[in-house]
Chains A and B, each alone.
Chain A
């Protein structure tokens, strides 16, 4: 029996997925547990593992195709089966997975292959034309559904295939090794801050003045190999110092030096362009609309004097310099939010229309802008963390978010969300609640302002935050008390120790 490779359901809300990339060709041997394709779900691009060993006989859903959950995207010839026979047998039935009308148009995330280079200064490939104007972070606080359990990935259970087909497993030295190392395999591609490039490719690139950061690798895990560099030389792309069609998106961390993204290509006069929604954009649109239509939002804004906080941050960073840890103001604010939420659990809650669930731990959703759209990785148990841990863990999450290498469970389970646009010079804004959470805090930039102290006008570093609340679950006074605590902690940061 040929084994079907089905579109996995990777979250409760996922009804269809897009095959972004096949890592195997028809005729390639596949071992259980090997990554065979990348699937774009409604939230992220996920790696998909083979659940059985065999030979990829037929690709029913080519790259870029939208396929409903549970439908075959490919077929494996298992042992004793001829690839041609399987292909012939299944090719007819597989038509059902052909691109749906809108599906073919949905552009696969152009950067999905390339973002090995995480890091604070990751160079991302801008989406192809349709998304070109979107390399700038847009309105934050847009809710992305986090009410998903995720992980319904039926393909993880690789052991089944292995046990049934030991001879296939031992028949391929190479792939067998990959199974041996399967537990760490996830990390391999999880944006460890490096561009993967073979020594030879690196040398040829250097000789030809090619910037490997601008290339897409065709090797395993996006490894840039000799042929990729030779192609770039031939096509005259990727010259060091240029960045054709590529937008530099610098870290959104406030401490990163501000760099204006390379401007998207201007449209020519009179041009009209229609951009089909990517999966991600579609989900963002739907969720935002739902939240704003169904949740009675109210907003409360306070100005906070963060003069002492910025000094504290400077002192801590001097101490941490040797460890190469640089706290952002956001890290200190995250800690204060967690402490405040512990005191005001009414805000650290979910509301499902019939009941309110409060949580003892603070799982902080952090809105991160990607060229493709907003994503909200979740920093779990932030109330148990010190500044340093918050810095390290959030930096890791953000980096992997940019590399689209977050696991499903890192994108769900937030109890409260924070959105920070301070680094863009935004003074204040209000965010849209990310249901089923009941609050979201929008953080503006810290700046020197003239304020009155003891009847004198003095310059102080001020920051404005706006809390959005779901009035079905939270009342105005409760929100105000929360903001009061938060302000106290940020103005007297020593209180965070109390």
Chain B
């Protein structure tokens, strides 16, 4: 049975179900317990599971991410909530050095089944220091899994799979998407990590995107391209950024011969640049146009609403790029 729920509730259901399923799962982070979550994702979870499994941390990302990694290596399955992924720049050492490498450096003696989750990217007028898109920072690190859902359905299914993963997962939400509603089955389900979703099949061009960009501008752009420009777009939602589901993209490009990648990252060394690096050789002989990459402008994220809007990929930019690669 499907029902419409908010993405916020989908996350809460995923955590609740996994905590009911496995007593080793617990939630910690800033304001997750007494305040019911800075964004009310964990609302009611303290009451349900008690202070031993849902608890507040001091404002020190380095401390509590390290705590979670340590707990994970000793057999627990922590869910660490960050108020914003921008704040994790102070705990890169814990995540990149420790979480990502412990399994390898211990020769497999330790695993690190921790899930880090929180708001990633540009939300709305949070300013330059709170608007980082960290996906390309983490997706390039071997040992990490990076996931970014674009619907409530994906949020629930991918978060459940992330919590069950024996490797550390970077789970990237976006504050502006928490209110998004969508169909989510009542029955239990998970969505496999590392598998992209061909959201719309098409013949003319492959548009590759994920997360907020997909929800905010890519889907409207695809609608416009199909309706107004008669361009048959194949739309791929990556869902997982590491490990990247290269094969789905490659198979699609062999069919459509053209590709536009859209994300809200910066272009240089951005997520889309990494994707291009992964696919360009296998698809080279199938390309009928250079791969286009629509990304945010390479400037600090402005606080001003209009400037913030202007720096991000827009429907117009995507439509123009798709028309360019399709010569239409």
Contacts and interface: CB of A to CB of B under 8 A. Distances in A.
Interface string B301-315: 000000000110110
Interface in B285-321: 285-289, 292, 294-295, 297, 310-311, 313-314, 316-318, 320-321
B209 interface: no
B327 A218 contact: yes
Given A29-B320, A173-B321, A199 B327 contact: no
A219 B289 contact: yes
B209 to A, nearest CB: 13
Contact of A173 (B257, B285, B313): B313
A200 B286 contact: yes
B192 to A, nearest CB: 31
A149 interface: no
A199 B257 CA distance: 10
User: Which residue of B321, B323, B327 has the most chain A CB atoms within 10 A of its CB atom?
Assistant: B327
A198 B313 contact: no
B324 interface: yes
A167 B310 contact: yes
Nearest to A203: B285
Contact of A198 (B287, B292, B294, B316): B287
A201 interface: yes
Given A174-B324, A219-B327, A227-B327, A200 B287 contact: yes
A474 B287 CA distance: 62
A31 B311 CA distance: 17
B288 A171 contact: no
Contacts, number: 60
A172 interface: yes
A175 interface: yes
A167 B295 CA distance: 16
B327 to A, nearest CB: 6
Contact of B318 (A173, A175, A225): A173
Chain A contact-residue range equals 20 to 34
A153 interface: no
Given A167-B310, A218-B327, A219-B327, A172 B320 contact: yes
A167 B310 CA distance: 7
Interface in A167-196: 167, 170-176
Given A199-B284, A201-B288, A227-B327, A173 B320 contact: yes
Interface in B132-169: none
A203 B257 CA distance: 12
B320 A174 contact: yes
A400 to B, nearest CB: 24
A173 B284 contact: no
A200 B285 contact: yes
Interface residues of B, number: 23
B128 to A, nearest CB: 18
Contacts of A173: 292, 294-295, 313, 317-318, 320-321
B323 to A, nearest CB: 8
B284 A171 contact: no
Interface string B254-295: 000100000000000000000000000000111111001011
B286 A199 contact: yes
B318 A226 contact: no
Contacts of B284: 199
Given A170-B297, A174-B321, A200-B257, A226 B288 contact: yes
A225 B284 CA distance: 14
A148 to B, nearest CB: 36
Nearest to B290: A198
B286 A171 contact: no
Interface in A197-236: 198-203, 218-220, 225-227
B250 to A, nearest CB: 14
A174 B327 CA distance: 12
Contacts of A199: 284-288
Nearest to B317: A173
Contacts of A220: 324
User: Which residue of B288, B320, B321 has the most chain A CB atoms within 10 A of its CB atom?
Assistant: B288
A498 to B, nearest CB: 54
Contacts of A218: 327
A225 B325 CA distance: 10
Nearest to B320: A172
User: Which residue of A200, A203, A219 has the most chain B CB atoms within 10 A of its CB atom?
Assistant: A200
B280 to A, nearest CB: 10
A225 B316 contact: no
A176 B321 CA distance: 10
Nearest to A197: B288
A290 B91 CA distance: 81
A160 B327 CA distance: 28
Contacts of B318: 173
A308 to B, nearest CB: 52
Interface in A122-167: 166-167
B157 to A, nearest CB: 31
B166 to A, nearest CB: 39
A225 B289 contact: yes
Contacts of B311: 170
A199 B253 CA distance: 13
A167 B312 CA distance: 12
Contacts of B316: 29, 171-172
19 contacts: A166-B310, A167-B310, A170-B310, A170-B311, A171-B314, A171-B320, A172-B320, A172-B321, A173-B320, A173-B321, A174-B317, A174-B320, A199-B285, A199-B287, A199-B288, A220-B324, A225-B288, A225-B327, A226-B257
Interface of A: 29, 166-167, 170-176, 198-203, 218-220, 225-227
Given A173-B292, A173-B295, 4 more contacts: A170-B297, A175-B324, A199-B286, A200-B257
A-B interface, 5 closest residue pairs, ranked by CB to CB distance from nearest: A173-B317, A172-B320, A200-B288, A226-B288, A174-B324
